[in-house]
Amino acid sequence: MARAAAPERRVLAVYTGGTIGMRSQQGVLVPGGGLATILRALPMFHDQEHAQVCSLPNDTLVLPPAGPDQRIIYTVLECQPLFDSSDMTITEWVQIAQTIERHYDQYHGFVVIHGTDTMAFAASVLSFMLENLQKPVILTGAQVPIHALWNDGRENLLGALLMAGQYIIPEVCLFFQNQLFRGNRATKVDNRRFAAFCSPNLPPLATVGVDITINRELVRKASSKDRLVVCSRMERDVGLLRLFPGIPASLVRAFLQPPLKGVVMETFGSGNGPTKPDLLQELQAAAERGLVIVNCTHCLQGTVTSDYASGTALAGAGVISGFDMTSEAALAKLSYVLGQPGLSLDDRKKLLAQDLRGEMTLPAVDECWSSLQGSTLSRAVSWLLRLSISQEAEALRDALMPSLALAAAHSGDLEALQALEELGSGLSLEDPIGQTLLRVAAQRGHAGVVAMLLQRGVDVNARDQDGPSPLLLAVRGRHRGVTGLLRAAGACLSPQELEDAGTELCRLASRADSEGLRVWWQAGADLGQPGYDGRSALHMVEAAGNPEVSAVLQSLEGGVGAQA
């Protein structure tokens, strides 16, 4: 994103409304028109003399010189009607994207002047809608109207115009209080201070002080030279559900009803949620009928992990990790992915797991594997198949195959794994951090891959020194099919895993989670194993007197002989 060299840079500013141009009417702020007229009267926004010398048309403004011999010439396009951004919807954002598309060739950069209340949503949606973007699109606005004596609108708008005019940053960004954020990483955090936005999980792309500092390694490269495409087919039946302690399953059920097709679920801490079985059942039932549920933490900063059983229980119920995405970005991505025509549910889930526009940070391991999915993985494998036989080619093939095989196990791509096997890939390989194909596939619940590996005689109990066994990984994810396959092939929980299970079983029993107990039982856990306080799941169920779970436990205990 070099600084642009041309002496004259043209910027289109699309004015959609927001506080920046608002007027007070009967004591309240309402959107106000005529922004270009206000700017024309402010010398920092318009060099009248230069405009006359160059005979610029009436609707065109020119900034004072931005650098030696550099001028930013801009036009303000005022939308009709103007909005308080609380009223903006996908319809208006599609119109903004189409406006940019119509004027794409005439301008070097674009500024979208928008209300701050939903600016992070707008920036996120635009980042997905504008495909093959090669020019900057920068959203900005203000906390105080630009015509007030003391305001932030002037600095914000001037900064956005300078950024859009001077730099080749091919991204949808948000400029506020001297910071340029990636649009789909920003969120509004304050409604009084001028520093209204932050980007909790990604540093700013640029900061403006005495100098402008561009964080070059963060700025995305234009993904292709193809023409800009506006993806206006965004799914509107998506929603946002914030969990709270004790949320009733009935409320979740009511929320997840059709026509809803996708939901971003804001969870606690590292992506954890209540493990009440009735709630997990509602989520699982919804996921099974095709509703896509993305897990985002309600914390401002941090990512969804699989550190806690209460998080893996959600994953086991079919909830997809949104890692460190903001809820705004996750909702926009869901709307974009579900709006794409002709994709299977599986394809959509794979797209959601990928970083499409710099909106999320994948854990290092997932980043490598998820970028190697679907057609990319197939292409890599068929390229290996076509390599002509030479010593170098063989060495290259041997070096690449383990990563490709792990990527195939991670995404459940049986075909790719079979092709790699034909090429001579070992199926018992282990990467430097102790990952094996079986562990990866078991954790993600890919029964087809697990079955294939077991058929080929992979050691069912192979684990690294302190890592969990494949069986424990399957149990934590509540993958009953995979658990059954592993058990049938002779998998056992280690003595330590069996001992540690006591506390987890007690927790499940205290919540009457018969599904959770069932999968542990299926894995060979002893329901009489004491937890940390000496009590077992059986004691707890007896004490609680829950007849339903007692019946399940009795039926399981009755079948203990048959489980192994």
**What residues are annotated to the active site?**
116
265 DSSP β-pair partners: 241, 295
Nearer to ligand ASN, 86 or 375 (CB): 86
Question: Counting contacts by CB under 6 A, is residue 177 touching ligand ASN?
Answer: no
Q: Residue 513, annotated ligand binder?
A: no
Distance CA 309, CA 286 (A): 21
Distance CA 490, CA 175 (A): 58
Question: Counting contacts by CB under 6 A, is residue 145 touching ligand ASN?
Answer: no
Q: Which of 40, 84, 231, 255 binds ligand ASN (CB under 6 A)?
A: 84
Question: Counting contacts by CB under 6 A, is residue 195 touching ligand ASN?
Answer: no
CB of 99 to ligand ASN, least distance (A): 18
Nearer to ligand ASN, 141 or 316 (CB): 141
Phi-psi region of 371 (alpha: psi -120 to 50; beta: other; left: phi over 0): alpha
Distance of CA 101 to the CA centre of its chain: 25
Of the candidate spans 84-92, 295-303, 339-347, 553-561, the one that interacts with ligand ASN by CB under 6 A turns out to be 84-92
Q: Residue 117, annotated ligand binder?
A: yes
Instruction: Tell me the pairing of strands 23-25 and 28-30.
Output: antiparallel
CB of 20 to ligand ASN, least distance (A): 7
CB 517 within 8 A of CB 524: no
Q: Which of 75, 85, 272, 483 binds ligand ASN (CB under 6 A)?
A: 85
Q: Which of 141, 183, 316, 524 binds ligand ASN (CB under 6 A)?
A: 141
Question: Counting contacts by CB under 6 A, is residue 335 touching ligand ASN?
Answer: no
For residues 115 to 134, the per-residue mask of contacts with ligand ASN, x marking binding by CB under 6 A and - elsewhere, is xxx-----------------
15 by DSSP, 3-state: which? strand
DSSP label of 362 = P
Amino acid making up residue 415:
E
Residue in 352, 274, 256, 346 with CA at minimum distance from that of residue 314: 274
Nearer to ligand ASN, 117 or 131 (CB): 117
Nearer to ligand ASN, 85 or 373 (CB): 85
User: What is the footprint of ligand ASN within residues 12-41 (CB under 6 A)?
Assistant: 17-19
Sign, CA dihedral 34-40-44-46, equals positive
Torsion of CA 165, 168, 171, 176, to 10 degrees: -40
Closest residue to ligand ASN: CB criterion: 115
HEC sequence for 141-152: CCCCCCCCCCCC
Q: Angle at the Cα of 93 (from 91 to 94), degrees rounded to 5? A: 65
Question: Counting contacts by CB under 6 A, is residue 136 touching ligand ASN?
Answer: no
Amino acid making up residue 550:
S
CB of 142 to ligand ASN, least distance (A): 6
Distance CA 377, CA 337 (A): 20
CB of 30 to ligand ASN, least distance (A): 10
Nearer to ligand ASN, 87 or 235 (CB): 87
CB 306 within 8 A of CB 272: no
CB of 88 to ligand ASN, least distance (A): 8
User: How many residues lie near ligand ASN (CB under 6 A)?
Assistant: 11
Q: Residue 347, annotated ligand binder?
A: no
Distance CA 157, CA 150 (A): 14
CB of 32 to ligand ASN, least distance (A): 11
Q: What's the token pair of residue 560?
A: 């203990």
- Binding site feature residues: 85, 116-117
Q: Which residues bind ligand ASN (CB under 6 A)?
A: 17-19, 84-86, 115-117, 141, 143
- Binding site feature residues for substrate: 85, 116-117
